[in-house]
Amino acid sequence: MDGIDAALVRVCGSGENTEVRIEDFVCREYSDVAKKLLLSAGSLNAGSLSDLNFLLGQEFAAAVFDLLRKAGMKTTDVDLVGTHGQTIFHNPPSLGGNISSTLQLGETDVICEATGVTTVGDFRTRDMAAGGEGAPLIPYVDYLLFSRIGKNIIAQNIGGISNCTLVTGEFGELLAFDTGPGNSLIDSVAHLASGGKKSFDEDGAIAKQGSVKEDLLRSLMKNPYFDIKPPKSTGRELFGEEMVTRLFLLTEKKDIPLPDLLRTLVEFTVCSIVSAYERFVYPHADVGEVILSGGGAQNPVMVTRLREKLAPRRLCLSGEYGIPADAKEAVGFAVLANETVCGNRANAPGVTGARDATILGKISIGKNIVNV
């Protein structure tokens, strides 16, 4: 929830013939009202959630306008908007409940009406309706972007939650899953410690001053999620508010200084990623390179530790391959939106565990579509 990422993407073709060029990118901060509601989403009633859905649609539309102003373009120059939305709740089959469900807010009709542009969103739900995890969805895009490199790589995204994709030269060999926490715990602790003034630990400045609390790290690494075999996915329900409240109490009680807590949480993310590779990825392929994207790529402490733990394998940022690290996820959903309107199935059942390959997303028809 550090902001709304919006990428201007030129897409040619579809499927394995997809060609992508990133033309511009912005990150728009959530309004104070939206941020406050998002941080308390778990306790909102139906009416407040409904209002938040429309409010986020307005904020996403504002991000579109910000992006177009920066690029010197108009909405009539744009064919399509793709939006993942903000995840409020995610209960995948791997958690073993009687009903699996997911909820992303940011009403596509609001975006479509504000911009006039056909909008595709709500990508997760069809995969879950087909028995899948509904996540991660970016592996299909990772394959399109990186399979031509000519070597086995891991595409690692560190957002609120971390997810990885093993990309070889064959689509049928895709392996991907959520590795566990990304920035969610770190960001939330920084927010609480600053009394709401900070959304994250910028440049890892506070964590850099601390030391890893090994006992706490060992305890965190015992989380049962790490033992589940892929396909699997997770979210803030597991690595979110409840865990943050418990962890922040250690600082409030002065059991652990804030820098030590943040440094330990950075190490937690790094160790959970590397452990996931060792248990579930390396046995499938010889990997020589990890390509990193997402907000975690902006945290020098996290990048340094990940590079050290992965050695001798090479760690690089996705920017080396023409995909800015901050923009990767936004680019991904532009590509998925293009796949939707082209009628292509993009959920990769081998990754999500779905019964069938399906076309993802719901389409809000814009004013740019004529003769409908």
A 10 A CB-CB count for 320 gives 11
In which element (H, E) is residue 217 found? helix 214-220
Cα 11 to Cα 63: distance, rounded to the nearest angstrom:
20
Task: Please report, for residues 52, 83, 103, 269, the alpha-carbon distance to residue 88 in angstroms, rounded to integers and kept in the order given.
Answer: 10, 15, 6, 21
pLDDT, tens digit (0-9, with 9 covering 90-100), for 39-51: 888 889 999 999 9
- Structural domains in the chain, CATH included, are 4-134+327-364 (3.30.420.40)
Per-residue pLDDT of the chain (372 residues; tens, 9 = 90+): 778 999 999 999 999 999 999 999 999 999 999 988 998 888 899 999 999 999 999 999 999 999 999 999 999 999 999 999 999 999 999 888 899 999 999 999 999 999 999 999 999 999 999 999 998 889 999 999 999 898 999 999 999 999 999 999 888 889 999 999 999 999 999 989 999 888 889 999 999 999 999 999 999 999 999 999 999 989 888 998 899 999 999 999 999 999 999 999 999 999 999 999 999 999 999 999 999 999 999 999 999 999 999 999 999 999 999 999 999 999 999 999 999 999 999 998 989 999 999 999 999 999 988 644
Q: What is the pTM of this model?
A: 0.86
